[in-house]
């Protein structure tokens, strides 16, 4: 069994939205949680005050508890988080939404209306990637529990979608005639405060990096310092290396109708990454 922890970046006025998740094998959960607790202790020491939660926006821009922590030190901490995930051989998953493209397509594509929101669309795309990849594994090893940061207005929408998904998404993972829809997902998704689901905080960082890089790459966000885009690109490429295969995310060719829809509403840097 696997546990998949999600968070997002871009729920405000940002042009792009990214949902990202960290996938952990259940047999390694205890070690991972202890290690992350140790990591927060390290961050507390770096900040000079107690850090219970890792908010990427505050951290990266040096706000909140991170005010006074120089950029070099913050970059070192980001490197440490990436290395922490890489060394534990955790996988990740991500999906991006170009909000303008989404709104444009929403007016004429009934399928998008079934998602209820941009966030649900990205979360469902991540769910489909997990289904597609994990159904290839042995039966008991592929089952996945999905745990999202609490988004009160979105919980019901996503839960209903996963409980009774629209038939048109079946082609994304090649559902067979006798196969139950989304049979790799255990029950409905769970929601909790990210302060209490530590790995969602790593997902928050991944989502923030991917979104910020894509916006800089597409000229929608100015660099805050010289070569910020290049540094973000390097981190994004590292995230892509530990992500589920691009063929399970944004297939380069041979896309079915469902895969084509997610391709069309994604920022080009996100869909072409990896």
Q: Which of 64, 56, 66, 80 is nearest to 204 (CA)?
A: 56
Question: Whose CA is closest to 9, among 211, 184, 178?
Answer: 211
Over pLDDT 70: what percentage of the chain?
Answer: 91
Pairing of β 190-192 and β 2-9 = unpaired
Residues 6+ apart with CB under 8 A from 205: 54, 56, 59, 78, 81
Distance CA 53, CA 254 (A): 42
| Beta strand segments in the chain, E | 2-9, 16-25, 91-98, 144-149, 190-192
Report the predicted TM-score, pTM, of the whole model to 2 decimal places. 0.91
What residues have CB less than 8 Å from 221, skipping those under 6 apart? 15, 212, 215
Query: pLDDT grade, residue 30 (50/70/90)?
Result: low
Residue 219: predicted pLDDT: 97
The CA angle 51-123-36, to the nearest 5 degrees, is 25
Mean pLDDT of 242-269: 96
Task: Look at residue 138 in the predicted model and tell me its pLDDT.
Answer: 65
Statement: residue 123 has pLDDT above 80 = yes
**What's the average model confidence in pLDDT over 57-80?**
75
pLDDT surpassing 80 at residue 104: yes
Selected residue with higher pLDDT from 78 and 105: 105
Q: Identify the DSSP state of 147.
A: E
Residues 9 and 239: beta-carbon distance below 8 Å: no
Predicted confidence band at 31 (pLDDT cuts at 50, 70, 90)? low
| 198 vs 245 pLDDT, higher one | 245
Dihedral Cα 212, 218, 224, 229, nearest 10 deg: 80
Mean pLDDT of 99-111: 95
Which pLDDT band, with edges at 50, 70 and 90, does 196 fall under?
low
By DSSP bridging, strand 2-9 and strand 16-25 are antiparallel
Taking Cα atoms as reference points, which of 214, 241, 243, 208 lies closest to residue 229? 214
Average per-residue pLDDT for the chain? 88
3-state secondary structure at position 94? strand
Residue 84 has pLDDT above 70, yes or no: yes
Q: Residue 46 has what pLDDT?
A: 66
In angstroms, the Cα distances linking 225 to 61, 79, 206 are: 11, 18, 20
Distance linking the first and last C-alpha atoms of the chain:
26
The confidence score (pLDDT) of residue 141 equals 57
């Amino acid at each position: 069994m696997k546990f998949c922890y999600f968070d997002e970046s871009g729920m405000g006025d940002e042009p792009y939205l990214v949902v990202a998740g960290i996938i952990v094998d259940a047999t390694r959960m205890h070690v991972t949680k202890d290690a992350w607790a140790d990591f927060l202790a390290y961050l507390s020491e770096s900040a000079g005050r107690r850090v219970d939660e890792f908010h990427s926006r505050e951290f990266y821009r040096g706000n909140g508890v991170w005010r006074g922590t120089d950029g070099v030190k913050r970059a070192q901490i980001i490197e440490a988080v990436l290395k922490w995930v890489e060394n534990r051989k955790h996988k990740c998953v991500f999906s991006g939404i170009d909000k303008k493209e989404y709104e444009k397509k929403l007016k004429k594509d009934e399928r998008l209306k079934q998602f209820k929101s941009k966030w649900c669309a990205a979360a469902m795309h991540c769910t489909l990637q997990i289904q597609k990849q994990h159904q290839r594994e042995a039966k008991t090893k592929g089952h996945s529990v999905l745990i999202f940061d609490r988004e009160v207005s979105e919980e019901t929408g996503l839960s209903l979608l996963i409980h009774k998904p629209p038939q048109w998404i079946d082609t994304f993972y090649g559902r067979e005639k006798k196969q139950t829809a989304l049979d790799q997902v255990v029950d409905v998704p769970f929601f909790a405060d990210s302060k209490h689901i530590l790995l969602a905080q790593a997902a928050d960082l991944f989502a923030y990096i991917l979104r910020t890089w894509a916006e800089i790459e597409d000229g929608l966000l100015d660099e805050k310092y010289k070569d910020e885009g290049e540094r973000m690109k390097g981190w994004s490429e590292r995230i892509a290396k530990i992500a589920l295969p691009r063929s399970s995310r944004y297939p380069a060719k041979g896309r079915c109708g469902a895969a084509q829809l997610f391709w069309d509403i994604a920022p080009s840097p996100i869909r072409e990454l990896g």
